[in-house]
Structure 1
Amino acid sequence: MKTVKFNKTECGVDFLINVINGADVALEYLLPSVHNADYFEILIFRSGNGQLLLDNKLLQIEDNTILFVSTFQRKKWNVALSALDFTILIFQEDFLNEFFTDKLFTYRLLYFYQHDYPLILHPTHEQIQSIYNILAEIKSELVQPNLDSAHIIRSLIYYLLQRLNREYALQNNLPFQIDTSNHAYEFKRLMESHIKEAKRINDYCKLLGISRITLNAAVKKQFNLTATELLKQRLLTEIKNELIYSDKTISEVAYEFGYAGPNHLMRFFKNQTRMTTSEFLAAYQKGIN
């Protein structure tokens, strides 16, 4: 699988962030084969026609659509290039975390590392135009930087990301208050790197150095889910991706995730989806064809 990498030299910018006119890079970025990237993407479509297969979910691209893609998410595009008018905001995680002096910044945004709700927004035409204006300001500072450009970019990107976070929360009826303890965000961060070997809440409590009660209270307050529910969501997404994108057998996938045998994995999968793994794969193939 191809991994597209962020390249400052090719992008012609000094920061690990860029605003790109979609018409200039459509063939390079909207690949019809399965691929991923080492950066985050927010794609803003004024005009759109097609679909994005993102991990195991199919997203419809229409006029006035915003898509959110996290690092290394598997994706595959099926779009009418001639019908597209869009702009892409891309950035690497380290850029945001260092830019805002917050290693958990990307985990505070509801649309990144999201495994339950669709990674899409449908704003109005006026909202889209407002976002385009902000992106134009950011781009201007990137291509012609001044001594104060970093401060201006920081304020613009922070405002834009938080504004989108609010809209995403409202669209999906999600809480978006700040977790001052950071336990909920640390839990999300740890799941991204440990999900295959750590499948129990107690594993994460040990990593965080807190009690199960403390973790569950923080996650419930921030995401309106129990810690167990959030962990099961993340685990299910990872298993689905392995089933779809790898050539491994069920036994091999079960072994990779530390299950005692394939029956244990299949029982978990059936409990979460009400489908067997075979039924899921059949429905997936039917949905994308």
Structure 2
Amino acid sequence: MKTIHFNKTECGVDFLINVLHDAGIAATYMLPEIHNSDYFEIIVFKRGNGYIFIDNRKIPIIDNSIVFISPFQLKKWEVDLDKLDFTILIFKEEFLNEFFADKLFTYKLLYFYQYDHPATLNSDQDKIQGICNILQEIKSELIAPNLDSAHIIRSLIYYILHRLNRDYAVENDLPFQMDSANHAYAFKKLLEEYIKEKQRVEDYSELLGISRISLNKAVKKQFHQTATQLLKNRLLTEIKNQLLYSGQSISEIAYGLGYSEPNHLMRFFKTQTGITASEFQSGYQNGSS
């Protein structure tokens, strides 16, 4: 499977961020085969068509919409490239960490590492144009930087990421006030790092040095679901991805995720989805997922 890496030299920029708006780059970034990337993507569509598959979800690409993709999510495109009009904002996590001195910044944005709600945001023509105008201003600072360009880029990117976070929260009826203790966001970050090894909430409360009760309280306040629910949803996504893309048997996947018996994984999957793992694989292959 191909991984697309952020390359400052190829992008022609000095920062770990870039704005792309050119039909010629579509064939490079919108591949029809399964692939992933080592950066975040916010893709703003003025005109869309077809579908993108992100992990195990099939998402229609429509006019005046935005798609959010986190690093190393599996994806493939089924679109007519000539009929798209889009602008892509791409950036590495290190860029935000350096700019905002907050290693949990991306985990505070509701649309990234999101497994319970859509990876898209529908908007209107005026709002989409406003976002594109800001992205174009960022691009201008990137290609012709001045001494104060870093400050301007920082302010613009901070505004647009939080503006989209608010809109996404309103669209999906989610809270967007910040957890001052950061426990909920740290839990979300640890899930990305350890979900293949650790599937108990207690494992994560130990890593964070807090009680399970405190962790659950923080997660419920921030994400309106329990820590167990958040963990199960992330684990379910991991299992689905492996069922579809790993080439491994259900038994191999189960043992790789630490299950003592494949039946335990199969029971978890059926409880969460209402279908068996084999039915899920068959449905995806037949285009019903």
Q: What is the TM-score normalised by the length of structure 1?
A: 0.99
**CA drift at 1:118:** 0.9
Tell me if structure 1 keeps the 8 A contact 2:191–2:234: yes
Q: Which residue of 1 aligns with 2:214?
A: 214
> Tell me, which stretches of 5 or more residues in structure 1 are unaligned?
none
CA distance in 1, matches of 2:232, 2:22: 36
**CA drift at 1:226:** 0.3
CA distance in 2, matches of 1:135, 1:61: 20
Tell me if structure 2 keeps the 8 A contact 1:22–1:88: no
**CA drift at 1:284:** 1.4
Question: Number of matched residues?
Answer: 289
- SS where residue 33 of structure 1 aligns? coil
Deviations 1:228-264 (A, max 9, x none): 0000000000000000001101110000000001000
- SS where residue 286 of structure 2 aligns? helix
Q: Which residue of 2 aligns with 1:131?
A: 131
Q: Which residue of 2 aligns with 1:167?
A: 167
Q: Which residue of 1 aligns with 2:271?
A: 271
Q: Given residue 111 of structure 2, which amino acid in structure 1 is its aligned partner? A: Y
- SS where residue 46 of structure 1 aligns? strand
Q: Given residue 71 of structure 1, which amino acid in structure 2 is its aligned partner? A: P
TM alignment of 1:10-89, pairs within 5 A: 10-89=10-89
CA distance in 1, matches of 2:180, 2:237: 27
Where has structure 1 moved over 4 Å in runs of 4 or more? none
Q: What is the TM-score normalised by the length of structure 2?
A: 0.99
Q: Percent sequence identity over matched residues?
A: 65
Q: Which residue of 2 aligns with 1:226?
A: 226
Deviations 1:146-175 (A, max 9, x none): 111001000000000000001111111111
Q: Given residue 163 of structure 1, which amino acid in structure 2 is its aligned partner? A: R
> Tell me, which stretches of 5 or more residues in structure 2 are unaligned?
none
Q: Which residue of 2 aligns with 1:140?
A: 140
Q: Which residue of 2 aligns with 1:2?
A: 2
Q: Which residue of 1 aligns with 2:94?
A: 94
Q: Given residue 164 of structure 2, which amino acid in structure 1 is its aligned partner? A: L
Q: Given residue 140 of structure 1, which amino acid in structure 2 is its aligned partner? A: S
Tell me if structure 1 keeps the 8 A contact 2:23–2:82: no
- SS where residue 287 of structure 1 aligns? coil
1:189 aligns to 2:194 (yes or no): no
- SS where residue 60 of structure 2 aligns? strand
Tell me if structure 2 keeps the 8 A contact 1:183–1:215: yes
